[in-house]
C-alpha cells in the first residue's frame, strides 16, 4: 500500500465513521492541496453517496477534484482517469448502480466503498507520479 491509501483506511476505520468516500479522499490530499483536513472534508461533504442522490460515485468525483487542484485538467488525463475507474467496474460510475451491482454479487457496502477509495487514490497517485 501507499501512504495515501494507508491514511484513507485509517480514516475509514475510525469509530464512529464520519467520513464519506469523497471526504476521505479529500482529507488524504489536504496538505498537498494547501488546505487543512477540515476544509477538505467540507469540500467533499456533499459528494458522498453519489452527490447524496446516487449519481457519480464520490470516490470518482473527489478524484477529479484532487486532480484539478493539482493542476491537472488535461482532457486526456481526466478521460483516462474516468475510463479506468469505469473499466474496473463494468462501465459503472454511478454510486447507486455500483452499490446495486455489489449487493447483487453479495458484497458488503463498506468493503465496496473502501475499495473504490483505494482504486481512486492509486490511480490519482499513478497519474500524478511525474508531476
**How much is the pLDDT for 17?**
85
The CA radius of gyration of the chain, in Å to the nearest whole number, is: 14
**DSSP β-bridge partners for residue 94:** 56
Residue 123 to residues 5, 60, 104, 110, 115: CA-CA distances in angstroms?
11, 10, 26, 20, 12
Ranges of the chain with pLDDT below 70: 1, 131
Q: In this predicted model, what pLDDT tens digit does every residue of 119-131 receive, in sequence order?
A: 999 999 999 987 6
**DSSP β-bridge partners for residue 87:** none
Chain centroid to CA 88: 14
Helical segments of 1-131, H only: 3-12, 21-28, 37-44, 48-49, 58-69, 75-87, 95-104, 109-127
Which grid coordinates belong to 78?
Answer: 481526466
Rounded distance between C-alpha atoms, residue 63 and residue 3, angstroms: 16
**How much is the pLDDT for 125?**
97
pTM of the model: 0.95
Amino acid at each position: 500500500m501507499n501512504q495515501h491509501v494507508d491514511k484513507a483506511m485509517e480514516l475509514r476505520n475510525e469509530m464512529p465513521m464520519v467520513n464519506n468516500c469523497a471526504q476521505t479522499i479529500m482529507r488524504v490530499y489536504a496538505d498537498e492541496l494547501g488546505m487543512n483536513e477540515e476544509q477538505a472534508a467540507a469540500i467533499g461533504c456533499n459528494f458522498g453517496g453519489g452527490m447524496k442522490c446516487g449519481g457519480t460515485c464520490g470516490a470518482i468525483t473527489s478524484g477529479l477534484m484532487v486532480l484539478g487542484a493539482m493542476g491537472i485538467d488535461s482532457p486526456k488525463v481526466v478521460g483516462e482517469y474516468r475510463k479506468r475507474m469505469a473499466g474496473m467496474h463494468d462501465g459503472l460510475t454511478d454510486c447507486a448502480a455500483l452499490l446495486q451491482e455489489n449487493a447483487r454479487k453479495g458484497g458488503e457496502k463498506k468493503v465496496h466503498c473502501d475499495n473504490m477509495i483505494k482504486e481512486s487514490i492509486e490511480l490519482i497517485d499513478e497519474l500524478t507520479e511525474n508531476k
